[in-house]
Amino acid sequence: MCEDGYMLAPSRDGRHTCRPCACPLSLPSNNFAVHCDGGAAVLRCKCKEGYAGHLCERCTPGYYGKPMEVGNSCKRCDCNGNSDPNLIFSECHNVTGHCQHCWGNTGGAKCERCAPGFYGDAISAKNCRDCECSECGTSSCDDRTGVCHCKPGVTGRLCDQCEVRETT
């Protein structure tokens, strides 16, 4: 019997030897099969968790990566618990890992910060809330503190007052 990721194959001298499964590549860094069978003309692979396809050449939903590239693999998506719980399919892009449906007023590649117009702690407290800045007088607010960034000529904590200019 062969170890995981290897298959029993005949050698030139008539004996059997264990060869790496080419699932998708026969390199140790890119062999993602638990088991493979090359008995028929077509290689059949039983993929490890996170891998899919006849040759384990792509990532399953909930994982991302480029398993066909030497040294690359599939990794579990990490959206910091801020992805839409109603999703049936992948919460992140299958190659880049960027989260596709951030939830709870969050944003960023891993839903790691509050979305524009919201502030708070997106990871631990999960309390992203409205900035309350004047929409007319602000360009944005700090996504952690909620401090409003006023447009030129506007002032006030909520950027809701005209700046007084002294005339001489």
Q: Give dist(CA 127, CA 7) in Å, integer.
A: 51
Both 56 and 83 in one domain: the answer is no
- What is the average per-residue pLDDT within 78-91? 86
Both 129 and 88 in one domain: the answer is yes
Tell me the pTM.
0.79
Confidence of residue 39 (pLDDT cuts 50, 70, 90): low
Q: Measured between alpha carbons, how far is residue 54 from residues 3, 44, 50, 140 in Å?
A: 20, 6, 13, 48
Q: Give dist(CA 7, CA 34) in Å, integer.
A: 10
Query: The domain spanning residue 85 has which CATH number?
Result: 2.170.300.10
Expressed as residue numbers, the domain containing 83 is 77-153
Confidence of residue 151 (pLDDT cuts 50, 70, 90): very high
Radius of gyration of the chain (CA): 26
Both 82 and 149 in one domain: the answer is yes
Q: How many domains does the chain have?
A: 2
> In this structure, what token pair is assigned to residue 143?
């996504």
Both 81 and 149 in one domain: the answer is yes
Both 18 and 56 in one domain: the answer is yes
